[in-house]
Structure 1
Amino acid sequence: MNSFDQALKAFQLSSISFDELLQIARRTGQAAEPTLAEAKRCLDAEFQAGRLSPQNYAALDAELSDKTHIAPPARQVTVVPSAAPRGEQATLIQDARTATAPPTVMDTESLLSGLRETHPHEELTVGSTLKNRFVLQQLLGVGGMGMVFKATDLRKIEAQDKEPYVALKVLNQDFQANPMALVSLQRETKRAQTLSHPNIIKVYDFDRDGGHVFMSMEYLEGKPLSHLIKEHPEGMPFKQAWPIIHAMADALRHAHKKSIVHSDFKPGNVFIDNSDEVRVLDFGIACAIGRGDKDHQDATVFNARSLGAYTPAYASLEQLQNSDPDPRDDIYALACVSYELLTGKHPFGRLSAEKAQEVNLQVKPVAKLSRRQFKGLQKALAFEQAQRTKTVDAFLSALGPRSTVFYGLWGTGVFAVGLFAANIYLSMIAPPKIVEAPKVNVQLSPEQQQKIKDLLELAGIHADVGYLTAPTGSNALWAYREALKIDPYNKAAANGIIGIADTLEQQAWEAYERNDRSTALKRVQDGLEAYPTHKGLLSLREKLRASQ
């Protein structure tokens, strides 16, 4: 039996404290491989036999595996072993600091001093421990700025917390190599700590252990929004997507009120937990607005953009041009994410705003949105900041469903206008009725009626963005004709087609007056495709032919 086995037995007999057992485990972790393997075998056996709690097992296993201990323990912990009677189990914490030992203060100088060559960088793995407190349990993800681990907080275990886990974001070496970025990141993390909001992840602290700089955050179980989007390749129904959009917007609105712009808002930075609650992540690398006010004394403000710490597909044109942070940067990103939620696709095919503007890319209409809603989303996606939606409140107002109050007032108004018109009509001699050929009575199912409604909405959106007869299969004329296939007597669809022909006639005349005959003829041909017997278009076509 080696020293660790003996110490484990002594702990189970309450002969030594858990802290003393941890120290022996730490020394054993540096021993030769055979000794270490035997210690781990013994630990596993005791755990499987039910003689060790999961928390104690995790802490001991981490010590046996750990090679990165740097910081000395801040205090001594004594834990009555789990083998003792339940009534006697308790956690006794004794402060090991002496009166002459000053408390550790994490300021800028101590942060930077921890990154000098005297503290060589050591690779972190599952089982490593940071600050003699956080035991890394699982690698959750790797990004451009570092790695995110699930970690056990030994202080929470001491306090018998039922949820002892935190998330640690450990910054990579390239990022740490920029001292000013670290100084500014520390300041921005302090700002993030002020963002107390149910839709924003909690940031606990910003610290370092030797050559490792890390942030500790709330640990969540669930999945990122990017996974949810992949599960709905055709997009989510509006009723299902709207609560998520609203929660994300609430988080950004709260940050903007605190003069903080997220600057890297994207599906990967939004998390849906197992209770379907929405959390926005990574406010620790956000940018500050209004650099000249109360933070004037801190001349250096961390700007994630200057280090490339943003995602081009969701970055505004101003971010790509390294302009000062503005809430409208987040609104552009929020609109991109909202569009993706509703359609399953990025509004510009994941092109950056710069590239999309360069090729004059237009946003395709969203069938499940009304014309008003799509215009609101379109405005939030404007490339130029001056044309973009200014506030989150304005975005929510434009995209959100109408309230029942609105529909009540609207219905009352329509009824009043109709009643007034009826009274006028009845007070006059009604004109003689024109006898029309009897129409075939088409019985439409509720599904068909809803389909026609959706097609008419879609046609209106296409018309608003100029998609009258092209592109093929995605234009106003196509949508109206699809509606007429279901109901050949639908007046709105028939009038819509006449409206397309009228619009094209007007455009053709404007081109004709500019002496642009080829464009005029093209508009006439497009109009006659929609409405072959349109008198104005036929007249202009004859005029163009005669002048050739």
Structure 2
Amino acid sequence: MNSFDQALKAFQLSNISVDQLLQIARQTGQASEATVAEAKRCLDAEFRAGQIAPQIYAALDAELSDKTQIAPSTLHATDTPARAPISEEATVLQEPRTANEPATVIQDPRAATEPPTVIQGPRATSEPSTVMDTESLLNGLQESHPYQELTVGSTLKNRFVLQQLLGVGGMGMVFKATDLRKIEAQDKEPYVALKVLNQDFQANPMALVSLQRETKRAQTLSHPNIIKVYDFDRDGGHVFMSMEYLQGKPLSHLIKEYPEGMPFKQAWPLIHAMADALRHAHKKNIVHSDFKPGNVLIDESGEVRVLDFGIACAIGRGDKDHQDATVFNARSLGAYTPAYASLEQLQNSDPDPRDDIYALACVSYELLTGKHPFGRLSAEKAQEVNLQAKAIAKLSRRQFKGLQNALAFEQAKRTKTIDAFLSALGPRSTVFYGLWGTGIFAFGLFAANIYLSMIAPPKVVETPKVNVQLSPEQQQKIKDLLELAGIHADVGYLTAPTGSNALWAYREVLKIDPYNKAATNGIIGIADTLEQHAWEAYERNDRSTALKKVQDGLEAYPTHKGLLSLQAKLRSNP
């Protein structure tokens, strides 16, 4: 193994930098022809194995090619342009040679009279380099690797073996793949999902750089209802995204199983889970931009997972990371589904959370009725013909009005937040009915008091008042605990793990202030949520999970009528 081979291995192990590797390649290029040929064979082998990025391969190949020759008539010393030094701001990109292509022969006219000199800094080269900076990306670079069709059995990056084609969409193909690294680590679940982008995306010179930036955002979306995105990468002519692999079925298949629509009580937990995923993304300033039934997976345990956040759009794009003009907007290549795209998406406006709210409303309507609200017409076409979504009998007037607001074609009239959407569409909580009943009871007492005052002298009765005096420190602690409870609830930690869940945080608040309404309502909300989860498990005949959810809910709120009713039902029908 010569010094270049050793340096290449050291670079792959991150022991030396790109600049150090290029310097060694430059020195190797001045050595004997046999040494250069051996170094090139090693470089080509590593590139074909996917161990070297195309840009780095091109730069190293150019350094090693300095000693080869061409006919003197084709190159004059005065025609040789100077190559700029490689820096972090500009990456040199040249066409690499194929395995069967003969090396270009280059001869410097000075070679007959001057001995070779090892050049440590920038040097002359026979061809001008193409600099992959923002301007050249925007102008467009030709793809240096031809596109080849992938089939089951193909391998990407010498690591991912394609096992099964799971689906085909506007962005590309999704494969189930075996991760050979997981096999080596004896992982019991060695599978990943690979989404290989189609040629429209791969031909766009901004795609890899910009999608990697968006992947960083997607990797921040750690949420029980969002599928995990690992990375974006490239292998030759293929750009792909690696994701968590889950067994299940897309929501689009589930919708087909209910041609008349799913019962609201069964659909509501699914709608709520999808909304939770989008709400979490919006808090991170990310809009999904292609939310649809095909991008929602129901796994084997009945849990909801939203897919394709790896191609999401950043809201506002005002942060420093997105001021560069190379920021990739998936919408510019039609990376959305017209039937679920808002009017603003179709008009290529800036991303907005209300884009996702429109799509969520379409999906919710389809889940409840079995049909798209506008017959799968785009928002633009539906608005042109003044289409209106038909009322849904299983929804109350309040609920349907909430769904209509979310389906508004004009953004200004559309529901502004996911929370507002859930509040409008969701069933009334026990808190509402409790307040409603309290109001009726209070009104009855008021009327009785007026009636009795007409026949008997009034008696003044002092209502006992309990004033809890809270110190500033206690008030701040309550504020922190309520915020912590909200975070736990957002990620699904309702009653577990012990000492780090929403129920625990609310109870800590009540220890300080026994009359705190936010904590009381929060505990009731936990019980309501667990009731919904329990009914969902009961509907799919998962009795053990349903009973567990009931028990967890009754731990939070022992007198919850819905939970007690379901508990009795489970016990009476073993």
1:340 and 1:108 mapped to 2: Cα distance? 49
3-state SS, counterpart of residue 127 of structure 1: coil
Q: CA–CA distance in 1 between the matches of 2:270 and 2:94?
A: 40
What one-letter code is carried by the residue in structure 2 that aligns with 1:390? K
State whether structure 2 residue 109 is matched by structure 1 residue 132: no
TM-score (norm 1): 0.57
Deviation at 1:388, TM superposition (A): 0.8
- Which residue of 2 is the match for residue 97 of structure 1? none
1:386 equivalent in alignment to 2:412: yes
Is residue 355 of structure 2 the alignment partner of residue 368 of structure 1? no
Instruction: List gaps (5 residues or longer) in structure 1.
Output: 1-67, 76-105, 430-548
* CA contact 2:297–2:304 (8 Å) conserved in 1: yes
Q: Indicate the SS of the match to 1:213.
A: strand
TM-score (norm 2): 0.54
Give the distance between the partners of 1:164 and 1:390, measured in 2 at CA: 41
- Partner of residue 7, structure 1: none
**How many residues are matched?**
332
Counterpart of 2:49, as a letter, is: P
Match of residue 333 from structure 2: 307
Candidates 192, 200, 206, aligned match of 1:180 = 206
Matches for 1:418-457 after TM superposition, within 5 Å: 418-421=444-447
Rounded to whole Å, the distance in 1 between the matches of 2:357 and 2:93 is 34
Q: How does 1:67-78 map to 2 (within 5 A)?
A: 71-72=48-49
Shift of 1:182: 3.5
User: Using a 3 Å threshold, how does the CA distance of structure 1 residues 410 and 306 change in structure 2: closer, same or farther?
Assistant: same
Inter-CA distance 204–356: structure 2 relative to 1 (3 Å threshold): same
Query: Shift of residue 297 of structure 1?
Result: 3.9
2:42 corresponding residue in structure 1: none
Instruction: Name the counterpart of 1:410.
Output: 436
Deviations 1:211-257 (A, max 9, x none): 11111100010000000001011111111111111111111111111
Give, in angstroms, the shift of residue 295 of structure 1: 2.0
Q: Distance in 2 between matches of 1:143 and 1:426?
A: 73
**Residue 111 of structure 1, CA deviation:** 9.9
Which residue is 2:372 aligned to? 346
Given the alignment of the two structures, is residue 217 of structure 1 paired with residue 267 of structure 2, yes or no? no
Pair 111,422 (structure 1): closer, same or farther in 2 beyond 3 Å: farther
Matched residue SS, 2:206: helix
Please say if 1:322 is aligned against 2:356: no
**2:255, 2:366 within 8 Å by CA — same for their partners in 1?**
yes
Deviation string 1:414-468 (CA, Å, 9 cap, x unpaired) is 2332444466568889xxxxxxxxxxxxxxxxxxxxxxxxxxxxxxxxxxxxxxx
Please, which moves more after superposition, 154-163 or 177-186?
177-186
Q: Rg: which structure is higher?
A: 1
Change (3 A) 1:401 1:133: same
Per the alignment, in what secondary structure is the counterpart of residue 126 of structure 1? coil
Q: CA RMSD in A?
A: 2.7
Question: 1:147 — aligned with what?
Answer: 173
Deviations 1:252-283 (A, max 9, x none): 11111111111010000000000111111111
Q: Does 1:396 align with 2:422?
A: yes
- Which residue of the partner structure matches residue 194 of structure 2? 168
Between the aligned partners of 1:397 and 1:303, the Cα distance in structure 2 is 32
User: Structure 1's 143 and 70: CA in aligned 2 closer, same or farther, altered over 3 A?
Assistant: farther
Give the CA deviation at 1:205: 0.9
Partners of 2:313 and 2:330 within 8 A in 1? yes
Give the one of 196, 215, 223 matched to 1:189: 215
Give the conservation status (yes or no) of the 8 Å contact 1:69–1:129: no
* Residue 299 (structure 1) shift: 2.7
Q: Partners in 2 of 1:220 and 1:344 — Cα distance?
A: 25
Distance (whole Å) between structure 1 residues aligned to residue 90 and residue 307 of structure 2: 24
Aligned partner of 1:294 among 320, 331, 334: 320
Aligned counterpart for 1:251 among listed residues 257, 274, 277? 277
| SS of residue in 2 equivalent to 1:183 | helix
1:376 Cα shift?
1.1
Tell me, yes or no, if the aligned pair for 1:226 and 1:267 is still in contact at 8 Å. yes
The AA in structure 2 aligned to 1:304 is: A
Give the letter for the 2:246 counterpart: L
Q: CA offsets, 1:466-502, max 9 Å, x none?
A: xxxxxxxxxxxxxxxxxxxxxxxxxxxxxxxxxxxxx
1:288–1:301: 8 Å Cα contact kept in structure 2? no
Q: Which amino acid aligns with 2:398?
A: R
Q: Distance in 1 between matches of 2:94 and 2:337?
A: 28
Contact in 2 for aligned 1:69/1:132 (Cα 8 Å): no
Cα offset, 1:113, TM superposition? 7.5
Tell me what 1:201 maps to. Answer: 227
Shift of 1:108: 9.6
- Number of the residue aligned with 1:260: 286
Q: Contact 1:71 / 1:209 at 8 angstroms: preserved in 2?
A: no
8 Å contact kept, 1:69–1:131: no
Identity across the alignment (%):
89
Instruction: Give the ranges of 4+ consecutive aligned residues of structure 1 lying more than 6 Å apart after TM superposition.
Output: 110-115, 425-429
Deviation at 1:116, TM superposition (A): 5.8
Question: 1:170 Cα deviation (Å)?
Answer: 0.7
Runs of 5+ unmatched residues, structure 2: 1-44, 53-87, 97-140, 456-574
How far the C-alpha of 1:198 sits from its partner, in A, is 1.1
* Shift, 1:316, TM fit: 0.6
